Structure 1
Amino acid sequence: MKIKKLAIIILSVIILSLLWIVYSIFQFKEPETNLNDINEKYHLVLEKYEKKNIVSDNKTYRIIFKSDEDYEKELYNAYKNSDFVTEFDLKNNKSGSIIWRKNKNYIVKFKKDLIKKSLFMWGVISVAFLTLFLYIWKGILSPYKELENYTSEISKLNLDIRLPIHKLNPFGKVTESFDIMREELKKSKRREYEANVAKKELVAELSHDVKTPISTIKAVTEVLQIQEDNPKKLEKLKTIEKKADTINELINNLFHATLEELEELDVEANLTDSRKLSHFLDELRIFGEIEEENSVPECLVYMDELRMEQVITNIIYNSYKYANTVIKVKYEEKDSEIVMTIRDFGEGVLEEELPLLTQKYYRGSNAKESKDVGAGLGMYLVKYFMEKQGGGVEIFCDNGFVVELHIMKNKI
C-alpha cells in the first residue's frame, strides 16, 4: 500500500514537470515588429546615406544594393532568418533594400530558460526515481533477502538467529509470524533435547547399576563352582557364569555408546549422614574380604547417595578383579572433609599409568590379564562423580593400589 502511494506521487511529479515545460514552450511568442520605430530609422538611415554617401551597417540593420552581386543571396538569407526588409530608391537612381535584423536575444534567453527548466525537471525525476529505488531496496528487496537468509538458517536448525523487523518492511506480519514459529521450534527442540538427555541418562544409570548384581551373580557362581562336585550342576554353573559374562559385555557396550552422546551425568549432592559410607560396603562383601580399620566419623557429608555408592562399588570391584586380596578401608576426619582410604594388596599399576586411569575408556596394562571385559570407565566415573559432589580423588600405589576419596563435610 505504501509503495503504491509513493509511485502515484512520483508519477504526478513527473507529469506536472512535463506539463510545466510544455506550457513554457507554448507560451513563447516572438516579439512584434515596431513599424513606427523602423519607419523613423528608415528615413534617418537614407538621409545619412544621401549626405555622406556612406553605407553603414550595425547590429540592427544592413543596407544592400540591387547592383551588388550577392544581393539576391543576402535578401534570401534575410527572409530565411525572418528579418524585416524595406526597399528604397534614391535620387541618384540607386535602389536596394534595408535589412532590419531580428533581435535574437530573446531567443537565447528562451533557450536558456528552457534548458534550466529541463534540467530541473530531470533533477526532480532523478530524485523521484532514486527515492523509489531506495524504498524498493530498503522496503522490499532487503527484507526479502533477510527473509530468505532467515529461512535458510531455520532449515539448518539455527534457531538462535532473530529476524529484524523494520518500520518500512511490507512483510511485517510475515516476519512476526516467522519469529513466533522460530521461538516455538526452539522450545520444541529444547524439550526434545532434554527428553533425549533424560533417556540417555536413564540408560546410562541403569546400565551401570545392573553391573553390580551381575557381578554378584558371577561371584556367587564362581564360589559355587569351587564347592560343587556334581558334573551336571558344575556344567550349569559354568553356563550361568558364561551368560553373566555375555550380559556384562552387552551392558558395557550399551553404557559406552550412551556415555559417548551424553555431555554429563546428573549429580545432585545433599548433606547426608556419613555412616552411610559404611553401609555401602555391606553389599560388596560378596566379592571378597573387606576390613574397616576404624568407624566412620559421625557427621554430615555432602554427597549424592546413588553416585557415591557407584564410586565405592567401582573401586571395590576393580580391586576384586585385578588384585583379589583383602581390601582395607580407613576413615580420617579433617576440618572440612572426610578422607575415605580404600586399599588392596595386589601388584597395583605402573607409575606412569596412574594419571591415565581417570581418563575415559583407558584400561591399564593389568586389565589384559583379567578375564573380565571392562569399558575403561570405572575410575573415570569415580573422578567425575567425586568432583561433581565438590570433593576429589587421589590414586597412588603403596604396597598395592590405593584410592583416597575426599568427601566434603560442607557444601562448597
Structure 2
Amino acid sequence: MPQYTTEINRLIIDTGEKWDEISSLDNDFVESGEAFDYAVIDNEGRLLCYTKEDMSTTVSSATGHYDIIRDIGVNGETAGKLIVHNPYAEQKHSSDVRNAIMIGSMAALMIMISVVYFIILRKRVVDPFRKLKNFAVRVAGGDLETPLEMDRGNIFGAFTESFDIMREELKASRKREEAAVKSRKELIAELSHDIKTPVSSIKAMVDYLELVTQDEETKETLKSINSKADRIDKLVLNMFHATLEELEQLEVNPQEMSSREIENIIKECDALKRVTEADIKDCMVYADKLRLEQVFGNIFSNSYKYADTEIRVTSFFDDGFFVIEVSDKGGGVPDEELDIIMEKFCRGTNAAGKEGSGIGLYISHYLIGQMGGELTCRNNGEGFTVSLSFRLI
C-alpha cells in the first residue's frame, strides 16, 4: 500500500476541526480530495461518510482487509475513527488481468508457432518417414521388387539410397537362401539314402541273430533292436518329404488306436528304464502310432537330459479326452518360461551346458495337435509334467 502518512495526518486534523459538520452526516457518499479513499465512523460504529463503494466501513472488516484505522481526536478525546482503504485487492486484480492477457497472448503466439512448426515438421519429417515406413512394410511383406523413390530434399533424403540398397541386398539374400534350401533338401535326400543302407544291414544282421540264438533274453534284446531299426527306417523315409523348417509337411495319419499300444510305445521309448510307474487305462483313442513314438521319444529324451530322475506316467479321462501325464522330479523350469518352452528353437535356462536344439517339444506339440489333441506343460512341485490329451473314440 502506498504511504500517505502526511496526507492521512492532515485529514485527521481537518476532520477533527470539522467534526460538528461531519458528525451530522449519516452514511453519506462524499468526493475524496485525497489520493486515497476513506470512511469516517463515530465511537458507536455509525458510518458518517465514505468516498468509495464496497470499502470497509467497520473496524472488524477494516482489520480483515488490512486497512489503516486511526482515531479522530476532538478536544483531547476520541470522537470517531478514520478508515483508510487498502487498494491492494484492486491492484492485484488489475495485475492478474494484465498477466492473464499477457499469458494468453504468449499462448496464442506459441500455438501459432507450433502450428507452423508442425506443418514444416510434417512436410520435412513425417511424410518422408511415412514413405520409409510404407517401404519397410512392403519389404516385410515380401515385395523386394518395388524400389524406394529417391528424395534428397528432406531430412531422410540421405538414407533413401541406403534403404534401396538394403532392398537389393535382401533380394539377393533371398535368392541365396532359396538356393541354400534347395541344396539342403538335396543333402538331406542324399543323407537319407546313405542312412537307409546301414540301417538295412543292421536289420539283416539282427534278423540273422534272432534265428541262431537260443537265449530268450537275447532274443528280446534283438527284437527291441529290430524295432528301433524299424523306427529309424520310417523316420529317415520322412526326411525325403519334410525338414524341421517345413514341419507342416510332416504327414500325420491318426486312426483308431488302443491305449494298450500306447503303453507298449512308452515301454519301447523308455530306453534307460526310468519309468517306475505306468498307469494307462483301457480305452480307444484317435492317434498316429509312428508320431506317438516320436512324441514320447522326445519327452523321455528331455527328461533324461534335464532331470535325470525316475519318471511317472499316469492317465485319466477329461471331458471326452484321454489324458496321459509324464512327470519327473527334476525341479521343472521357471514359471515365466512355461509359455515359451514349446516355441521353435526355444530352450529353458536349465539347458545351459547341455546339448540340444530346442525343437523337441515344438515338434511334439505340433504332432499332437495334428491328431486332434493337445500338449501342455506345467511344473508339478517336484519337477516337470507334460500332459498329452487324445480324442476318445
| TM-score (norm. length: structure 2) | 0.38
Q: Answer 1 or 2: higher relative contact order, Cα 8 Å, separation at least 6.
A: 1
Using structure 1 for the length normalisation, give the TM-score.
0.37
| Bigger proportion of residues as helix | 1
